[in-house]
A and B are shown apart, each in its own frame.
Chain A
């Protein structure tokens, strides 16, 4: 992928108010792949008794990361929107740990980008969640 496209995608992610509100970071991007991180924060806890993060915050992370992967695919012209996204929750993310996700656009047509993603906490061997989604490909 051209470096200017990576810059553009990174700029776009950083300009998203909701991602800023959650302090999300784009840690890597290129050729249909993206990696992002969501810092642990008390304000996005879903279970106050255990301190486990809410699924919605993980959804936002995975949705953004999948969108970034779709956008930076070499045959994607630019913008994208989610058509559908399914998230499977394998286990609770460990309280206090950041959630990291890797997304990959594994197939793209003229109108649809197919993306999957996996999320982890500090333990790389056991995924926290996986996601699969379809995204729009904007015509030029």
Chain B
């Protein structure tokens, strides 16, 4: 049997980007910090553009530890939700229309989150990527790494546990 003809690339990209944008821009706190996500296939990179209101130590200056924690937690939650939604986005089970109308999928809830501050966050853009180490029906464990100028020089890392939204909600 011949395989079905693949969808045009723009259709696939549009659906993926709409899903990601709905997920990210529907949350006021993410917009308040100014976090954006870049997508390459299913790989996400979170970006925190530097802003004066993110400063925690005006003498250095350095990014506030709470901002770093919020940035990493956002990266973890969106990364986890994204990996869970991927199959439904690909199959078209999540439609572009429902996403643009603001029907957001439920996000995982944070149980605990531990941030390791490796060096002070400099007054410039920061980047982060999440890795879902384990994702079960109810619980998930996610690790996040954040860096600024050099990918291999992390300024923070974090591990968190999350409660997955139940499918019947």
Contact = CB atoms under 8 A, between A and B. Distances in A.
A17 B107 contact: no
Given A60-B66, A60-B67, A55 B27 contact: no
A60 B117 contact: no
B114 A86 contact: yes
B135 interface: no
A18 B56 contact: yes
Given A18-B56, A56-B74, A67-B65, A43 B117 contact: no
Nearest to A21: B53
Interface extent on A, as a size class? 35 or more
Contacts of B112: 86-89
Interface in B49-69: 52-58, 64-67, 69
A8 interface: no
Interface stretch (B13-21, B28-36, B89-97, B140-148): B28-36
Given A56-B66, A56-B71, A88-B111, A16 B58 contact: yes
A49 B29 contact: no
Contacts of A54: 27-30, 70, 73-74
Contacts of A45: 27-29
A53 B70 CA distance: 12
Interface stretch (A26-34, A77-85, A106-114): A77-85
A86 B110 CA distance: 12
A23 to B, nearest CB: 12
B58 A59 contact: no
Nearest to B115: A85
Interface centre among A45, A47, A59, A62, by most chain B C-beta atoms within 10 angstroms, is: A59
B45 interface: no
A13 to B, nearest CB: 10
Contact of A43 (B26, B32, B57, B69): B32
B27 A18 contact: no
A50 to B, nearest CB: 10
B12 interface: no
Contacts of B117: 81-85
A56 B55 contact: no
A88 B107 CA distance: 18
B120 interface: yes
11 contacts: A16-B58, A45-B27, A48-B104, A53-B29, A54-B30, A60-B69, A61-B66, A83-B116, A85-B65, A85-B69, A88-B112
Report the 5 A-B pairs with minimum CB-CB distance, sorted nearest first: A56-B70, A60-B66, A54-B29, A59-B69, A18-B64
